Structure 1
Amino acid sequence: MANVTFKGEKVTLVGNELRVGQQAPNFTVLANDLSEVTLKNYEDSVKLISVIPSIDTGVCDAQTRRFNEEASELDGVNVLTVSMDLPFAQRRWCGANGIENVETLSDHRNASFGEAYGVLIQELRLLTRAVFVVDRHNKVSYVEYVSEATNHPNYEAAIQAAKEAK
């Protein structure tokens, strides 16, 4: 498993660490309208999946804004942000901040995404910061588990990977 810290303290990630070349695991999360969403909802498209601990924190806010800005340049790429925040909080935050190019998804119900992608922090029941790019055939083409969950991911590398994914 990836070695990850949260505010300097080592944390335990639940699930299996993903690797480039693997088939992306399925998951079930909630959209802002409480409908269930799975990987199949994005069949035949590239997915840039931004994973954050909580939308209401500084780095998570900045990460979501950055990918929202970049999404308009990522033709044919679905940009998704997954967190444990309630769908209501995600919808409120997106509306208040003019976020229209990123789809926020909630893993709060049963941590399906967190366990499938190896990002669920056991001690906090939050997701650690990570970025995945999954191609149109659902193969993982980019993985970043951010080693300190309060740090930013490598935006440029993730964006480049999304542009190159087919």
Structure 2
Amino acid sequence: MQMPSYEEDSSEFERRNAQVLGISTDLVHAQEAWAKSLGGLSYPLLADNWPYGFVAAQYGVLRGDGLVERAIFVVDKQGKVAYIDIHDISQQPPTDKIMAALDKLK
């Protein structure tokens, strides 16, 4: 996960009335250890672990080898997916693209 930059932009997410959630197939204790190693996070981390990868499969990012693609989804208040970015695990999409997608929801 490379989500600390979202922590840095938390005021911009708040200004847009958006909630950041981190979802991974890691177990809760692994997520807690990761967040602690970063000094804590202000947004929730959710474990998509049982049944394994259920949410990832629903969003089409669970790969055949059992790994999960790195992906960003912006979902509006009605539950409609308004923006999708699926990218290499070593990269993080520019936050400005996420903010632009949120701005379109207004």
Instruction: Please give the TM-score of this superposition, normalised by the length of structure 1.
Output: 0.56
- Structure 1 residue corresponding to 2:90, chosen from 131, 136, 150: 150
- Name the amino acid aligned to 1:165: L
1:85-96 paired onto structure 2 within 5 Å: 85-96=26-37
Deviation at 1:134, TM superposition (A): 0.5
Q: d(CA) in 2 for partners of 1:79 and 1:134?
A: 10
Work out the CA distance in 1 between the residues paired with 2:103 and 2:9.
11
- Look up the equivalent residue of 1:93 and give its one-letter code: W
Q: Which sections of structure 2, spanning at least 5 residues, go unmatched?
A: none
What's the CA shift string for 1:46-73, capped at 9, x where partnerless?
xxxxxxxxxxxxxx2xx31011211232
- The structure that is strand-richer by fraction is 1
Alignment partner of 1:112 out of 42, 54, 68? 54
Which aligned segments of 4 or more residues in structure 1 are displaced greater than 6 angstroms?
none
Determine if the alignment matches structure 1 residue 100 to structure 2 residue 41. Answer: yes
**C-alpha RMSD of the superposition:** 1.7
Distance 1:100 1:152, change over 3 A: closer
Q: CA deviation at 1:78?
A: 1.0
**Which residue number in structure 1 is paired with residue 3 of structure 2?**
64
| TM-score in terms of structure 2 length | 0.84
Uncovered stretches (5+) of structure 1, i.e. residues with no partner: 1-59
Select the structure that is richer in helix. Answer: 2
Whether the 8 Å CA contact 1:133–1:161 is kept in 2: the answer is yes
